[in-house]
């Protein structure tokens, strides 16, 4: 491994350590009761270092929740439709389901569910995700001007349907794990769920 590779790995390890430390404290005392100073001290880093890795306290929990669906659409092959690219992306996730840390995932979901601040943050992330996906779907580089709203409504509607579908797939996967289903079985059941969901989206969008 090169020196650059070693440096990146060390940064990734430190980032994971900070996030894991924060999640442990949030699980013990609640998100709102823990300060950034306490997290930095427990993780053995300076406060400024923590903010170099995470721009806000909320990001310590929500950073891994955000899904960049717009990037998936933007990076698709020239002959691939947006829905085909997203289908392939989530099918690939179903194949990697065995890599999920179930215990940490359940703790994260519990911490989010108990904090109004984080629940509001999740909604903001989803709104931003939907807006970015809509722009990617019709090639927009920014939000539409008021006189363009009607022309851009189709992309907004498509993005809303796609994000709602993905959210439901994720929630179903999480609920199965919370009920005690194994990762292997949850991943196996996720695959046909993804296929059915995107079949419905493609029929509805004509894509």
DSSP state of 1: -
Of 137, 10, 12, 114, the residue nearest 63 (C-alpha): 12
- The larger pLDDT score, comparing residue 194 to residue 64, is at 194
Average pLDDT over every residue of 118-124? 93
Indicate the average pLDDT of the chain: 87
Reported as a single tens digit per residue, the pLDDT across 15-32 is 999 999 999 999 999 999
pTM: 0.80
Sign (positive or negative) of CA dihedral 46, 12, 105, 57: positive
Q: Which residues of 152-162 are buried (b: 16+ CB within 10 A; e: fewer)?
A: beebbebbeeb
Average pLDDT over every residue of 65-70? 83
Average pLDDT over every residue of 122-144? 81
Domain 3-60: give its CATH superfamily. Answer: Homeodomain-like (1.10.10.60)
Q: Yes or no: say if 200 and 164 are a contact pair by the CB < 8 Å rule.
A: no
Reported as a single tens digit per residue, the pLDDT across 20-66 is 999 999 999 999 999 999 999 999 999 999 999 999 999 999 987 77
pLDDT for 103 equals 87
**Does the pLDDT at position 102 exceed 50?**
yes
The contacts found for 138-142 with CB under 8 angstroms, 24 or more apart, are none
**Does the pLDDT at position 87 exceed 70?**
yes
Residues sharing a CB contact under 8 Å with residue 122, sequence separation 6 or more, in sequence order: 62, 65, 112
DSSP state of 207: -
C-alpha distance across the termini of the chain, in Å: 44
Q: Where are the domains of the chain?
A: 3-60, 69-205
Please give the full DSSP string across 7-21, using - where no structure is assigned.
HHHHHHHHHHHHHHH
Reported as a single tens digit per residue, the pLDDT across 135-184 is 999 865 444 454 554 557 888 999 999 999 999 999 999 899 889 898 88
């Amino acid at each position: 491994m090169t020196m650059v590779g070693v440096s990146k790995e060390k940064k990734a390890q430190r980032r994971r350590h900070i996030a894991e430390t924060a999640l442990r404290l949030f699980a013990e005392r609640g998100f709102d009761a823990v300060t950034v100073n306490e997290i930095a001290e427990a993780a053995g880093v300076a406060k400024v270092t923590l903010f170099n890795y995470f721009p806000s306290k909320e990001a310590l929990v929500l950073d891994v929740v955000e899904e960049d669906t717009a990037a998936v659409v933007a990076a698709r092959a020239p002959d691939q439709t947006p829905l085909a690219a997203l289908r392939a992306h989530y099918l690939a996730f179903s194949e990697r389901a065995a890599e999920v840390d179930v215990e940490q995932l359940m703790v994260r979901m519990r911490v989010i569910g108990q904090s109004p601040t984080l629940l509001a943050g999740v909604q903001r992330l989803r709104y931003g995700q939907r807006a970015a996906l809509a722009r990617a779907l019709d090639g927009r580089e920014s939000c539409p001007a008021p006189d363009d709203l009607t022309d851009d409504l189709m992309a907004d509607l498509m993005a809303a349907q796609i994000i709602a579908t993905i959210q439901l797939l994720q929630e179903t996967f999480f609920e199965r794990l919370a009920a005690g289903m194994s990762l292997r079985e949850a991943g196996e059941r996720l695959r046909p769920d993804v296929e059915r969901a995107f079949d419905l989206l493609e029929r509805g969008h004509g894509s």
